[in-house]
Amino acid sequence: MASRKRTTFRVRVYAALVAFVIGTGFLVLTAIGLPVSGPAMPGKALFGVLTWLSLAAALSAGLFLTSDCVSEEKREGTLGLLFLTSLRGYDIVAGKLLATSIRGFHALLAIVPVLAITLLMGGITGLRFAKTSVALVAAFLASLAAGLFASTLSRDSQKSMIATLALVLVLAGGGPAADGIIAAVRERPFEPLLSLTSPVSLFVMAGDSGRTPFWSGLLGNAIVTGLSLGLAAVLIRHTWQQRAPAPPRRVQTWRQWWRFGGTRRRMALRQRLLDVNPVLWLACRERWQAVSLWILALLLVGAFAALYIDSSGGLIEIGWHVLALPVILLLYLGAASEATRMFVEARRSGLLELMLSTPLSARRILQGQWRAWLRLFGLPLGLCLATLWVGMALVQHMTWGQMAIAARATPIPGAVTNTAAPTNQASSGTPVPVVVIGPGAGPAAPAAFDPPGIAVALAMASASILTVAANLAALGWFGLWMGLTSKSANLATLKTIVFVQVIPWFVIAFASALSIPLLMLPQLVGGGRLTPGAMMLWFPLIATAVNTLLYLAKDAAFILYAKGKLTAELRSETRRAARGRS
């Protein structure tokens, strides 16, 4: 059934097309003057871009392909029917693995011919190409196995996705982190031991030119993947039954408290919100998502404070870049998942049809959902964004200061530096080096620049945070539309992230990389308006401004499109889903 679906054929075509577009765009940027240091560098760079993107897609396969494949069967009550046949646990797990992996594996397979072009460009050996391909397949299988294992333990799609994400993060970074801690405690060089079970370490070892334990790492990844599938096959026979409800005296369990809160909270929430907007009350009943976001916000604040206190040796710059990107990606994934889940579950249970049979209009339903998001996630999300804003501004300001020091200390070959000229002093009174090239040549552009103040860094950080907030709003509104038109929450989440973030990211990155060097900077430099030292300052400013405008325009388009479609077609889509279910 999975091999005969149209999406199986479309996905591999789309994957090959994306790889082809990335390769073509990279070659175009290289041909128009992208600085390279040798004839083999374009092949290495293109190989690195394609393989790292493929690794990210392979590790995320379990989130969207297998994390809900068994839990969905539990919710629909069809998993128990399979055990009435001669099928066993390993038969079901193997069938689920093959059925869910066929599309993703075809996508990886379609990228291989484009990836092999880098062999002709030079810089990539056949052995590295083969090892990297094997490492990508191993990462893909490990992610699918983690999703299957998490799906056998849960009935809720969102909780299963969160568990899969946690397992993938542990598999990817747990082993290297443990080996690093052991090496630091024992004061010895880093020795890969637990890292041999990490698909990311296996991918990195595939690209190393020296002797590496690649085959031992491949064996370690295979063992972990096999254990995950084996545990799923054993547990699936014992976790598919729906447990009987607890007696009345044990209703107030810790799980119910974690999900809905105490009795007083539930009664107060009902009295306060039900008359205002029934959808607002329904969306605010569950609180565990908001509690999880509060935990993430507090952990982010604590990690930033620890980095700021121990800021010696450039640790804050490295640590912040490692910390900020995963937090932003988690926010994006959580926004898309929460938005799509509402309509998917309401449509499956028939609640959406009941709401539309009341005097509630489509606009009021959407208004209630939006107000619920602000009520549940406004404060913790604001704390996250404020911490990210302060961290981005501080790191940007420190980076500019280090770039200015490095620029002053780096001489230009064939040039004589003269700091005696009084007319080339910075505003602070410090002499700025003047570069004189050749005998009798006039003063060239200064090799150094004064770093901007903290106000400029705050402005750039504000633009970045505004982009993140707009992306979250676009993911929320478009996720509602995808949840209304998709069959499962995971599929709706995948389509939301791909359409709102992944595809526009490629387009905007290519457009900014092509427009800024070709259209804007040559005009400024050619007219003598910018010196080479000032280019180090103005290029990130221009790039930030261009990217912010493009992202805001993209997000506004997605929000307006989704709101218009939801307002106009909410009732018709609900009727169409009801007819398909009947």
Question: From CA 512, how far away is CA 193, in angstroms rounded?
Answer: 42
Report whether pLDDT(572) > 60.
Answer: yes
- Chain centroid offset of residue 444 CA: 44
Question: From CA 445, how far away is CA 467, in angstroms rounded?
Answer: 35
Please state, rounded to an integer, the average pLDDT across all residues of the chain: 78
274-322 pLDDT tens trace: 778 888 887 787 777 888 889 989 998 888 888 777 655 556 667 777 7
Instruction: Quote the pLDDT of residue 473.
Output: 93
- Which of the pair, 263 or 170, is modelled with greater confidence? 170
Q: What is the DSSP letter of 274?
A: T
Which residues, including other chains, have CB under 8 Å from residue 482's CB and lie 6 or more apart? 340, 492, 493, 495, 496, 499
Q: How many CB atoms lie within 10 A of CB 359?
A: 5
Report whether pLDDT(478) > 90.
Answer: yes
Percent of the chain with pLDDT over 70: 78
Across 89-96, average pLDDT: 87
211-253 pLDDT tens trace: 788 899 999 999 999 999 999 988 888 777 666 555 544 444 6
Report whether pLDDT(439) > 50.
Answer: no
Amino acid of residue 147: G
State the residue for tokens 């992230």. 497
Which tokens hold the place of 569?
A: 């077609």
Instruction: Quote the pLDDT of residue 536.
Output: 63
42-63 pLDDT tens trace: 778 888 888 998 999 899 988 8
310-356 pLDDT tens trace: 655 556 667 777 788 888 988 998 888 888 888 888 877 777 777 77
Strand residue runs (E) in 379-496: 415-418, 434-437
Give residue 413's pLDDT band: very low, low, confident or very high (50, 70, 90): very low
Give residue 259's pLDDT band: very low, low, confident or very high (50, 70, 90): low
481-524 pLDDT tens trace: 888 888 788 888 888 998 999 889 888 887 777 776 666 555 55
Which tokens hold the place of 274?
A: 């039900």
Instruction: Quote the pLDDT of residue 405.
Output: 67
3-state class (DSSP) for residue 425: strand
Instruction: Quote the pLDDT of residue 239.
Output: 77
Across 364-390, average pLDDT: 88
Report whether pLDDT(420) > 60.
Answer: no
- pTM of the predicted model as reported, rounded to 2 decimal places: 0.75
Q: Which of 340, 269, 305 is nearest to 562 (CA)?
A: 340
Instruction: Quote the pLDDT of residue 69.
Output: 84
Transcribe 365-382 into DSSP letters.
HHHHHHHHHHHHHHHHHH
Instruction: Quote the pLDDT of residue 227.
Output: 94
Instruction: Quote the pLDDT of residue 433.
Output: 39
Exposed / middle / buried, residue 242 (Cβ in 10 Å: 0-12, 13-18, 19+)? exposed
Q: Which of 120, 130, 135 is nearest to 44 (CA)?
A: 120
Across 349-373, average pLDDT: 81
Strand residue runs (E) in 106-239: none
Most confident among 124-138, 274-288, 413-427, 513-527 (mean pLDDT): 124-138
Exposed / middle / buried, residue 310 (Cβ in 10 Å: 0-12, 13-18, 19+)? exposed
445-477 pLDDT tens trace: 444 556 667 788 888 889 999 999 999 999 999
3-state class (DSSP) for residue 437: strand
Report whether pLDDT(428) > 50.
Answer: no
Q: Residue 550 to residues 295, 393, 509, 540, 553: CA-CA distances in angstroms?
A: 32, 21, 10, 15, 5
17-51 pLDDT tens trace: 888 888 887 777 677 655 544 455 777 888 888 89
Give residue 421's pLDDT band: very low, low, confident or very high (50, 70, 90): very low
Instruction: Quote the pLDDT of residue 469.
Output: 94
Across 79-96, average pLDDT: 84
Report whether pLDDT(440) > 50.
Answer: no
Instruction: Quote the pLDDT of residue 520.
Output: 56
